[in-house]
Structures are given as structure tokens and as C-alpha cells.
Structure 1
């Protein structure tokens, strides 16, 4: 990495000052978001996968912080004021909601469920309600309405993309930031969109009732997803690269 000013370092990424005002360089490390375990090449895969999904969302009118990929590990992104929240969208019962509510893993939920978690590693990112978000000033009611509309649209796009390559999107989480364009503020998808933030099931790994079999380690799932999407430079089985469909 070239010598430059570090703005922030998390478990899986480092942010540096960007070349232009209002931009950052996002560097993907090889450490995992959840447990910090290091897998060689994880950062390269996550950079390419996040580029694929973020640029695809931009292409169908869903605003994100992504501008362009710089190299194998870095992206140029827009600077945003991050909300101290992680937003989870659940389509199927998986670890977390299954344990909390006793719903068998793999059960299709009646509709996509949006949950909020306070982004604070020291507290374990606890589940919070809309009342908490509004009462403590982390966002207002209009923000929450806009967030729900934003993440449900992301869910539609990602679910379709995953289904197109034979995978089921059980759930995912993302982060949201605020940007200003003159006096106008809007919310955008920020941080990253990678298998580190998703629960994915291979449809070929479902049992006769449609429930997921053991999906395997995350690094293998990441590699397989990248291969199916055509973002790996070699060993791609299909001749055309899938695109996100609005």
C-alpha cells in the first residue's frame, strides 16, 4: 500500500483519504468481519464481489457509495456520514432468528423482515427496536421509512442475482450512510456487500423438503459465488457474466 493518511481501520477493511474531496479509498483485508480469522485472498474476493453488487445496484438506480475499483484490493468510494446501525433483512429463518424465536432453520418467513442492530462491537451489536433508534437520535422516522424502502429494494436485486446462480439469500446485513447534494440529504448503501455479510445456501445443497444442508465454510462459499458470478479471472463455467435485474 502506498503511504497515505489512514482515516479508519476495522476488522476487515481500512479506509484512507481519497484523491478528491468527499472520497475515500477502501482497502479489503484478508480478515473476516465476524471472527477476525485470516484467509489468504479473502480481501481480493470481497473487493471483486462488493464491486459487482455495488455497481449493479448503482446501475438499477439504488444509490451506493461505490465509485470504481482501483486495483485487486481497493475501491474508490464516496465519503458518507455512517448511521450507527446494521440493518438486517431476513427472508428465511437462519442462525439468530431460529435460536431467538424457535423457528426451524430454513423456514421461509411470511415476508422479508427488517431488523436493526446497534453497531457497537463492545456491546456485541445488540438487536434494537425502531423506538430505540428514534429515541436516541440515531435516525428519525423518515430515515427509517427510507431505510426500509432502500434495503427491501436491495433485497429484491440481490435475491434475484443469487437465485440466478443457484443460491438462496437467506439473509444479509448492510450499513447505511448519509450524503448531501447541496441542501438535499439522501441515504445510500455503504461499507460492503459480500458473503461475509450474508447467509447463502446452495440450492443444490437442499434436502427433499427444501431445507438447507450444511453450506460449508464461508471461504468456499465466497469462492464458489465469485466463480458463478464470473468475477474470478479464470475457471468460469458460463460464457456471459450475469447482471443484476431490477
Structure 2
């Protein structure tokens, strides 16, 4: 009896070894190299741009998966025109020649940098509007470091927290996240709902989108069981001397967020 032939490899182990020996062991994503191999065969790309195509596939796949699985806050409810990396890559190469040309140049610089993450090209959105999202007309290549800097340039609010919630709230708007973090003297994520103590004062830092109620605060699984205690006024009572006293209720919470109403936005 003849043995059934198994499905042939789309990428032979020897072919994968050839690619990884040329570009490094960490560049071993089989699906991406299959796309590269088929694209060279079909004439979509030239062999000298194979690594650029590999990186493009990886970036497209990362964007699609992040949106599909809502892996990170920046991708929640973001529109994307594609459901698979192959079609997204083909559309970019076929219909956005300037994008592809710049991507190839950036790939060359990435190789020259000995593949430093900061120099790696990524697919970025021009408009941050989530309903526009990832469409051909709204994407551009951007290095990883420039993408990170872009995130740090977003406006943030810093709130000085008084745990007596009946008191007046102090806050300050910063044009850039980096400035807000420097003001507090910390290096941390925003929109975590955690309160930071610096020099005896307590601060909460939020993005403008969360502060103005445009986006929900990101959900975190906190490793610690830390809770904050505050007091909220629930009424008044007159004491034996005829003076009015405020009745306060103790509350406990693991994190918090502040949303500014219209009357406070320009304060």
C-alpha cells in the first residue's frame, strides 16, 4: 500500500533557514516568509525587497490582531479595512507605491542599525479618529521610536487628589504626556486609575481622551490588593451648639478616574 503524501510545506525548513541565516534567528515567522516567497514568485516584489515585505507583513498582522482581539487600549473600537495580513500587504504594495518606497528605505536603515527596535518601520494611522482607522488613505510608515514619541506627545491631565472628596479639585493640562510625567516626577503609564504619591502629595494622571469622557479607562489586572480610602459628603446635621456639620461616608476603591464636565474643560 502506498503511503499518502502529506500536504507539501509552503515553506521548506531549508528555505526558512536560509532567511533566518540572512536576517537573524528572531525573524522566523513562517507565515510572513510564505507571503514573501509567493510575492516574489508572482512578481509583486523583487527579491532585494524581501525583508521589507517580511517586516510589512509582521506589522500588518500585529495591527489586525490587536484590533480583532482588542489587545491594547489604542486599538479598541478602531476600524480596519482588512481581515488578513496577505490582502493588507498586497493592497499597500499595489496601491500605495510611495508608502512601499518609503518602507523599503526605512527597512534599509533598520538593517544598518543592526535591527534596533527604535528603527523598525511600523504601519501608523494619520488620523487618530477610530472610525477612520486603518484604511489605505489613512496609513503611513513610521519608525517604532517615532511612533512612541507620537504617543508621548498626546495631551494629558494631572489631578492633585484630596481624599476628602468634598474639597476643590486641582488639575493641570499638559500639551504632552512627557511633560505631565516630568511634572509629577514619575515614569509610568497613564489611564491606570492608580494614584501616585510624590513628596506627600497624591496625583492621578489621565489622557485627555479619558478625562473628557471620549474614551473609557483601560482595564488592568492589578497584582496588588491596594485600596484607597476617601470620604464623600452625604448630608448635614446640626450639633448641640447649633452649628451645621457635614456628614461624610467612608468609601474604599482600588482605582479611580476623573471626567471633566463642560464647565470645567477650560478651567
| TM-score scaled by length of structure 1 | 0.24
Q: Which is bigger in relative contact order (C-alpha 8 A, separation at least 6)?
A: 1
Is the helix fraction higher in 1 or 2? 2
Is the strand fraction higher in 1 or 2? 1
